[in-house]
Amino acid sequence: MADGPVRFGIIGCATIARKLCRAIALAPNATLHALGSRSIEKARSFAAANGLSGAVKLYGSYGDVLDDPLVDAVYLPLPTSLHATWAVAAARKGKHVLLEKPAAVDAAELDRILEACEASGVQFMDGTMWLHHPRTAKMREIVSDRGRFGELKSINSISMFAPNREFFEDNIRVKPDLDSLGALGDLGWYCIGAFLWAAGYRLPSAVSALPDVTRNSAGVVLSCSAVLYWGLAHETAATFHCSFLAHVSMDLAVVGSNGSLHLKDLAIPIEEGSASFEFTPGAKFVDLHIGWSVKPEKVLVPTELPQEALMIQEFASLVQGIRNSGCSPERKWLEMSRKTQLVLDAVKKSIDAGCILVHL
Amino acid sequence: MADGPVRFGIIGCATIARKLCRAIALAPNATLHALGSRSIEKARSFAAANGLSGAVKLYGSYGDVLDDPLVDAVYLPLPTSLHATWAVAAARKGKHVLLEKPAAVDAAELDRILEACEASGVQFMDGTMWLHHPRTAKMREIVSDRGRFGELKSINSISMFAPNREFFEDNIRVKPDLDSLGALGDLGWYCIGAFLWAAGYRLPSAVSALPDVTRNSAGVVLSCSAVLYWGLAHETAATFHCSFLAHVSMDLAVVGSNGSLHLKDLAIPIEEGSASFEFTPGAKFVDLHIGWSVKPEKVLVPTELPQEALMIQEFASLVQGIRNSGCSPERKWLEMSRKTQLVLDAVKKSIDAGCILVHL
């Protein structure tokens, strides 16, 4: 089994675990070995509803999954407030950790998780799927092309969807004790991650929330906006709006001095088999300003596996390297999560303090 | 001649006057009667370079155009700092006024112009061309559809282009004595106008510039960002960025509770014969969140005349109504300009005061 597929244990039966079960099944180097819930009935019910193989071990507690010596790695789709406890416990048991986003309630909790992973020599990755889509690699080629794209000038992102009424009553993402970050954690995470991605993971120098924040009666953010600034004079800005209160939109616009890039479906591509973006290189207004010299070019990027299966494959491949070849964990995933969390913390601080400018 | 085409006089030979000469030639109810520049040589040179008919009267002063009794209406492509002087003079001579945007240096100057137009009973319109494209009417149908679009939730716009080096040395739009509003006046005007359009011309309750402002050595804004807020609690926000320092982008995203609308070429459509936008009505994530239930629909809106010719046609039609049928001037154009200018003034005030929140 040393060079066999990575054996996953899933801790928690959240809705998103259904998507990850399928992703683990699709990834060529991963297999679902165990599933643990707070009760064995819940685990059985989830397994039946999702057609899991009888070979998957079902456990009636989270701890039992961590005690299973055959589990190489755990995927944690738990409410954010439980991340630190269970991710640290998993790392201490030598399990590699794939952690649903937002990674933690704040950077201090994330640091406890990351320190436990480093101490145990296990791989850490957060569950940001879009980073693994081949579209993202194709976009990286473009924004890093100093000729065709030029210098980064402006970034904008919106990330929203309008869930049904039950969501606002029952969903963990609107409960202060479970997911205190609300829409900022669930959707703002994507915008902030996209800004850092576009900026080559340079941290902004400062951030500020905008006063259009909406909270539920328990104080959880249902929608908010913020601006990130880079440079001493704040000369580059990135604005985002995230919301549980508006129609599905997952826009990203990245504009450079020589070209611009747009997409509409950052976190969840409209179609599974391929995703697109538009790139407009070197457009000028034509004579008389009655049109543009260059039309936006639609770049279609097919993918054989959905982005979540590519995430599993990448994570499992790193785990195999550690397990089979003595490689060290890949630190870049940890650093990307940590920077995203630091910016998210700063936005939260700004919201809570009345939209002050928070320096990083 | 009473029911003939409206006879235009153009005052000033700015580059954009070339576009408007063509537009006047294309509009079925307009004719170019006169062109005035600061010298007769300039007027002759412009006429020759642009193949104007020998029937067009050429004048060596702006005042001569206003003194020509056959001129019904003037188009003023002058630097913004000259708008008040010449638009007021034109109105007092009974000429209808089509005024290039930004309408004025500030609302006080614009009010002088509007008062002069009202006192003389002449039509006023600013030169915002995109409002006249049939795409705009089609988009209006959608955003006013409470079922398919729902309640307005979020608006974003960017308006930029990267002119050549000479622009930054010679162009009136970067000279403090000619166009003191810089990129805010030239490009921010579009963003602010689009926000007011999307909000049904409800004025925002407050605006704030963002600290990413860039100025030239003379203090003229080369790029800036701002946020407009509606509602007592600032619950709806619209963010824009305008810039002379980045690749061509003229994005508008208007998101409602039930649908979203996107376009990339608001002020200057990519192609002259038709313009498009994307509308996504009622999209949800499909089961497992592996795609969207509805794909964005590309709506292509052909136009027989370019938007600037439609603007001339609309303006001339109003002038004909006043001239031939005793109609009153259409006040909506005046009100749209004035609201845009009021918001622009507030953004300018916020910039100059260090990004304070300015209430309207």
Tell me how far apart the alpha carbons of residues A312 and A335 are, in angstroms, rounded to a whole number: 18
A 10 A CB-CB count for B239 gives 26
Q: Is the pLDDT of residue B285 over 90?
A: yes
Q: Is the pLDDT of residue B348 over 70?
A: yes
Judge if the upstream peptide bond of residue A296 is cis by omega within 30 degrees of 0: no
Residues 6+ apart with CB under 8 A from B27: B305, B309, B310, B312, B313, B316
Marked catalytic residue, from B95, B101, B339, B348: B101
Please indicate, yes or no, whether residues B295 and B347 belong to a single structural domain of this protein: yes
Using alpha carbons, select from B262, B291, B279 the residue that is nearest to residue B149: B279
A 10 A CB-CB count for A299 gives 16
Question: Which residues pair with residue A58 across a beta bridge?
Answer: A35
Residue A18 lies in a domain: yes
Tell me how far apart the alpha carbons of residues A142 and B210 are, in angstroms, rounded to a whole number: 28
* Interchain contact, A290 vs B278, CB within 8 Å: no
Residue A360 lies in a domain: no
Mean pLDDT lowest among A235-239, A271-275, B39-43: A235-239
| B192 touches B340 (CB < 8 A) | yes
The SS3 call for residue A46 is: helix
**Does the beta carbon of B322 lie under 8 angstroms from any beta carbon of chain A?**
no
Please indicate, yes or no, whether residues B70 and B161 belong to a single structural domain of this protein: no
Write the ipTM: 0.95
* Interchain contact, B153 vs A291, CB within 8 Å: no
Residue B336 lies in a domain: no
* Interchain contact, A235 vs B251, CB within 8 Å: no
| B179 touches B80 (CB < 8 A) | yes
Q: At what angle do helices A15-26 and A307-325 cross, to 10 degrees?
A: 60
SS3 string of chain B? CCCCCEEEEEECCCHHHHHHHHHHHHCCCEEEEEEECCCHHHHHHHHHHCCCCCCCEEECCHHHHHHCCCCCEEEECCCHHHHHHHHHHHHHCCCEEEECCCCCCCHHHHHHHHHHHHHHCCCEEECCHHHHCHHHHHHHHHHCCCCCCCCEEEEEEEEECCCCHHHHHHCHHHCCCCCCCHHHHHHHHHHHHHHHHHCCCCCCCEEEECCCCEECCCCCEEEEEEEEEECCCCCEEEEEEEECCCCCEEEEEEEECCEEEEECECCCCCCCCEEEEEEEECCCECHHHCCECCCCEEEEEECCCCHHHHHHHHHHHHHHHHHHHCCCCCHHHHHHHHHHHHHHHHHHHHHHCCCCEEEC
Using alpha carbons, select from B266, B342, B341 the residue that is nearest to residue B101: B341
* Interchain contact, B249 vs A246, CB within 8 Å: no
Look up residue B356 and give its amino acid. I
Residue A352 lies in a domain: no
Position B3 scores a pLDDT of 76
Question: What is the extent of the structural domain holding A99?
Answer: 6-128+307-340
* Interchain contact, A282 vs B247, CB within 8 Å: yes
Catalytic center residues of A = 101
Tell me how far apart the alpha carbons of residues B69 and A117 are, in angstroms, rounded to a whole number: 85
Tell me how far apart the alpha carbons of residues A27 and A16 are, in angstroms, rounded to a whole number: 17
Q: Which residue of A has its CA nearest to B156?
A: A156
Q: Is the pLDDT of residue A104 over 90?
A: yes
Mean pLDDT lowest among B56-60, B131-135, B145-149, B174-178: B174-178
| B250 touches B190 (CB < 8 A) | yes
A 10 A CB-CB count for B78 gives 21
Look up residue B39 and give its amino acid. S
Please indicate, yes or no, whether residues A104 and A151 belong to a single structural domain of this protein: no
Helices (H), chain A: 15-26, 40-49, 62-67, 83-92, 107-120, 134-143, 165-170, 182-183, 189-198, 307-325, 331-352
Position A98 scores a pLDDT of 98
Cα Rg for chain B, rounded, in angstroms? 21
Position A170 scores a pLDDT of 87
Please indicate, yes or no, whether residues A104 and A46 belong to a single structural domain of this protein: yes
Chain B interface mutation, best of A155, A249, A266, highest count of B Cβ atoms under 10 Å = A249
Q: Is the pLDDT of residue B85 over 60?
A: yes
Tell me how far apart the alpha carbons of residues B211 and A90 are, in angstroms, rounded to a whole number: 44
Please indicate, yes or no, whether residues A286 and A144 belong to a single structural domain of this protein: yes
**Does the beta carbon of A360 lie under 8 angstroms from any beta carbon of chain B?**
no
Going across the sheet that includes B124-126, the strands are B57-59, B30-36, B6-11, B73-76, B96-99, B124-126
* Interchain contact, A247 vs B234, CB within 8 Å: no
Write the residue in A247, A271, A296 that is nearest to B264 by C-beta: A296
Residue A331 lies in a domain: yes
Q: At what angle do helices B331-352 and B189-198 cross, to 10 degrees?
A: 120
Q: Which helix (H) or strand (E) holds A215?
A: strand A214-215
pLDDT greater at residue B236 or residue B350: B350
Q: What mean pLDDT is reported for chain A?
A: 96
**Does the beta carbon of A307 lie under 8 angstroms from any beta carbon of chain B?**
no
Q: How does residue B97 score in pLDDT terms, banded at 50, 70 and 90? A: very high
Q: What is the mean pLDDT of residues B240-260?
A: 97
Q: Is the pLDDT of residue B2 over 80?
A: no
Q: Is the pLDDT of residue A182 over 70?
A: yes
In B81-140, the residues whose Cβ lies within 8 Å of chain A are none
> CB under 8 Å, gap of 24 or more: what pairs does A299-304 form?
A299/A138, A300/A274, A300/A275, A300/A276, A301/A133, A301/A134, A301/A135, A301/A138, A301/A274, A301/A275, A301/A276, A301/A277, A302/A134, A302/A273, A302/A274, A303/A133, A303/A134, A303/A135, A303/A272, A303/A273, A303/A274, A303/A275
Residues of chain B in contact with residue A280, where contact means CB-CB under 8 angstroms, are 247-249, 264
| B257 touches A162 (CB < 8 A) | yes
How many domains, in total, are found in chain A?
A: 2
Residue A348 lies in a domain: no
| Cα distance between the two ends of chain A | 46
| A312 touches A20 (CB < 8 A) | yes
Residue A239 lies in a domain: yes
Look up residue A290 and give its amino acid. I
Chain B interface mutation, best of A155, A212, A271, A308, highest count of B Cβ atoms under 10 Å = A212
* Interchain contact, B292 vs A246, CB within 8 Å: no
**Does the beta carbon of B55 lie under 8 angstroms from any beta carbon of chain A?**
no
Tell me how far apart the alpha carbons of residues B309 and B32 are, in angstroms, rounded to a whole number: 13
Please indicate, yes or no, whether residues B238 and B116 belong to a single structural domain of this protein: no
For A127-181, the pLDDT digits (tens) are 999 999 999 999 999 999 999 999 999 999 999 999 999 999 889 899 999 999 9
Q: Is the pLDDT of residue A274 over 70?
A: yes
Q: At what angle do helices A134-143 and A189-198 cross, to 10 degrees?
A: 40
**Does the beta carbon of A285 lie under 8 angstroms from any beta carbon of chain B?**
yes
Position A232 scores a pLDDT of 85
- Closest Cα in chain B, distance from residue A39 (Å): 23
Residues of chain A in contact with residue B260, where contact means CB-CB under 8 angstroms, are 246-249
A 10 A CB-CB count for A200 gives 10
A 10 A CB-CB count for A313 gives 20
Please indicate, yes or no, whether residues B49 and B161 belong to a single structural domain of this protein: no
Neighbour-count burial of B180, counting CB atoms closer than 10 A to its CB (0-12 exposed, 13-18 middle, 19+ buried): buried
Neighbour-count burial of A292, counting CB atoms closer than 10 A to its CB (0-12 exposed, 13-18 middle, 19+ buried): buried
Q: What is the CATH number of the domain that holds A210?
A: 3.30.360.10
Please indicate, yes or no, whether residues B317 and B349 belong to a single structural domain of this protein: no
Position A2 scores a pLDDT of 58
B71: left (phi over 0), alpha (psi -120 to 50) or beta: beta
* Joined tokens for residue A135: 């579209």
**Does the beta carbon of A26 lie under 8 angstroms from any beta carbon of chain B?**
no
For B100-148, the pLDDT digits (tens) are 999 999 999 999 999 999 999 999 999 999 999 999 999 999 999 999 9
Tell me how far apart the alpha carbons of residues B104 and B126 are, in angstroms, rounded to a whole number: 10
Q: Give the single-character DSSP code of A179.
A: -
Q: How does residue A89 score in pLDDT terms, banded at 50, 70 and 90? A: very high
Write the residue in A156, A236, A259 that is nearest to B247 by C-beta: A259
* Interchain contact, A241 vs B237, CB within 8 Å: yes
Residue B1 lies in a domain: no
Q: How does residue B185 score in pLDDT terms, banded at 50, 70 and 90? A: very high
Please indicate, yes or no, whether residues A157 and A274 belong to a single structural domain of this protein: yes
Backbone dihedral angles phi then psi of residue B291, each to the nearest 5 degrees: 165, 180
Tell me how far apart the alpha carbons of residues A308 and A241 are, in angstroms, rounded to a whole number: 24
Please indicate, yes or no, whether residues B156 and B274 belong to a single structural domain of this protein: yes
Please indicate, yes or no, whether residues B96 and B160 belong to a single structural domain of this protein: no
| A250 touches A258 (CB < 8 A) | no
Please indicate, yes or no, whether residues B86 and B233 belong to a single structural domain of this protein: no
For chain A, what percent of residues have pLDDT higher than 70?
A: 99
A 10 A CB-CB count for B102 gives 30
